[in-house]
Structure 1
């Protein structure tokens, strides 16, 4: 299209997909500077996937800043919240694209009148595409292949991953540019066993008492910590903060010890009812009966956590769960609904003997004699709990 303006060329690409109208709300589409489209398949909640994503994303934004380019991203796409945050951090112009959406003045470009996905619009319109994460068999893979075969140039870059579900190798065979980063992701270093004679030991009798202690086990965290905003989490991963990917059960316990508090969250209850959960089972029994639950993708209990004397928590308003059938919750007094737990069908949740607090627990307000910390023996655990103000029971 000799003599055509940049936006005419870009819109012509879209029109090749079908009848369309384009509303521009910024000058980015008209700019002679390159536009780099960012796209990705669904990302899930795995922090290590997020970290790898951000390594490629940051590299792309740095390249854009060097080339004085803008980035384009589809509103509502998997990559949008990460790209928006990264563009702000790296001070790169952002072009937000909507397809057949009446979104007021939010998007820079609104495309109407054609039956095409938002991912296809960004992939087709952009001068270059950086595909951050592409899974096999998805729409993003299909749209990228269409672009590669149509344009027959070196304008499509695909991040390469060792994941078995990664589609990069097939796209590279079709003509995409393989995008590699130096180094490789390492699995978290395994915990090394310590000589038990060198470890401090807390009292262990409490672990076998029934009803005297309420136990809160920590677990690995996917996504933001309780009390951490989504933006704070994304910033930590984007900037590759050393602690961004340390979100295992020992890390959760370390946060509790350092903050002297248990923060209520809404993981197991209705979103409007954040709670702190405990079990009144003896600690030793919890460890003996722990099992992996495939439908949740995790262990029901981890050998890390904190125990608090039952009498102390009762004074703080902590109460036992009320078990029943799903329809029973609506009949309860609104102030007690945070305590409701369905009995369950495939598993009887009454065996958990759960208690809940509808507020966070200020551990600093408790007597030191009313708190116990427990952790599986490891080098990391010993380092993480160094200086713990409460007795630590080490689990071999």
Structure 2
């Protein structure tokens, strides 16, 4: 049992040597190089109190004996588990650090991606001046940090080998009215976004974030050539609604890189395009996924290969994720059976739509005629162009 606890701030206590701590009554130890805790220890502990404890111990122990970084582990300690074995539990790769009187969040990410073009890659943990080529960490996480009221302090990149990297991100924050458990969850979102987006945010990484329960990491991200967000379910009670749904999906089937449609996210125009600003989860409805699949199967011609429609649980509600992989050029253009003219459905017409920046655009009749001409030429000569123009 701990005794002689000298310093107390909220739910944190520590002895005068800073070696023994109590977090919500649970004993933890600073091993003079690492202070290992469990993620459950963070509950009901304020960031202000942690900063006060770090500052008090730093002043009491002196410059050469600052408290160690607080490394957060996952899992629970079994009853027969010795506290000294806590460091053996899996780490979350998130920790709290104390620097120059302030506490920082430190997030460590381990990535496999191409490194530099140097003939002699780093073989030890060597700090580099920049992250791996193609990964701008600061730009990637800026919208998320802004939304969370966090600030980027530093990004360090380390290269183990040709394609193995460690990215260490230091994040600052105002501790006032902040709880450690909330900051920890924020750090996990930052980590998820970086690891899912190595090499840049893509259709695949966005889908991975959503399926992994990290949809909040998309707030602040812009729509673009391959991402469309919708606030509500498609309107299955009207023909116009069904045609619109088919058009949202078909535009990406006609695009070179495919795309993702997410229903349950609100957007707002920020002057240079629409940005995802809010999660608007959809009411959970029995059979709703089947409705999406049936509309797309009947309205889009030819059928989209490897089309994926998923319901992603978000609390007691759902998000709808529609992922459109890149399609074979030979199958383009994808047609939508039906068109919307002056707000009314025209079932005897067809429409061809494609993506232009962050908006859906109709195909000009001249382009339709050009594709028909190419098709007739193939039937006559038996030669198929390598790429059918959709421009």
**Fold conserved (TM > 0.5)?**
no
Report the TM-score when normalising by structure 1. Answer: 0.26
**Going by fraction, where is strand more abundant, 1 or 2?**
2
Report the TM-score when normalising by structure 2. Answer: 0.26
